[in-house]
Amino acid sequence: MNGSEKTLTKQLPNLKLTSDSLPDRVLVCGDPGRAKIIADLLDNPVQLAQNREYHTYSGSWKGSQVAVVSHGVGAPGAAVCFEELIMGGVQSIIRVGTAGSYQKEVTPGSLVVSTAAVSCDGLTKQIVPPGFPAVADRKIVEALMNAAVLNGGDIPVNEGITLTLDAFYSGVLEFPHQLYKKAGVLAVDMENSALFVIASLKGVKAGAIMAIDGYADAELRDEYNPHNDLVASAVEAEMKIALNAITAL
């Protein structure tokens, strides 16, 4: 195990594992399939548990023990994952996800490292008072940006504020996307604010890197098709960037 030893083994009921099986550094992602792909990059990967959307693997990256856990789509289910990982003694969490861009220059196939998230989800409104900031850990942001530089390649990497929503598809109510676009928000996802708030409350480090899989802004979007080579290359790059960042902490 990395970091301080766990003195008490805890059962983590939804992840279906015990705390003594977890290292203190974890990558999380929404898609269980992506969790398996990340795990396959590790040395000596093993699956620790599988329950609902929560698939957990562990292995080593450049000599450091790392776990990979999927959390599904949306803040409430993801929050269960984040809470139980922290209960299990995890000290550093990096989310490896996808997001829709609000800015023309943040193009599909590029990467965004989130420094903070606008909390437009329902979960955080139930656990902290209005105005509580959802902020990424600065050391993780720096580690991700440094790892992106060392990774090289032609994939642009942006750093800035993102926004977290619950709704993937629109309904009859109009969400003020244009206001956040004008305010300089780079992209929108569905889990970052929950991760950042929970990490702040529990005193652990958290950050997020996202591959841009299309434009969330209607004025910029022709169609939404995340299944293309540009996005696939960005997802592949962010996995290795996140692994290098979390093991550099």
DSSP letters along 12-61, please? Answer: ETTTTEEGGG--SEEEEES-HHHHHHHHHHSEEEEEEEEETTEEEEEEEE
The pTM of this model reads 0.95
Rg (CA), the chain: 17
Give residue 3's pLDDT: 43
- pLDDT of res. 220: 82
Mean pLDDT, range 222-235, rounded to an integer: 89
Catalytic residues: 213
For the stretch 100-113, pLDDT in tens is: 999 999 999 999 99
Tell me, what's the pLDDT at 8?
A: 67
Residue 132 has pLDDT above 60, yes or no: yes
Contact between 97 and 239 (Cβ < 8 Å): no
Average pLDDT over residues 183-209: 98
pLDDT at 30 over 50: yes
Chain-wide mean pLDDT for the chain? 95
**Cα–Cα distance between 12 and 100 in angstroms, integer?**
32
Eight-state DSSP code of residue 97: E
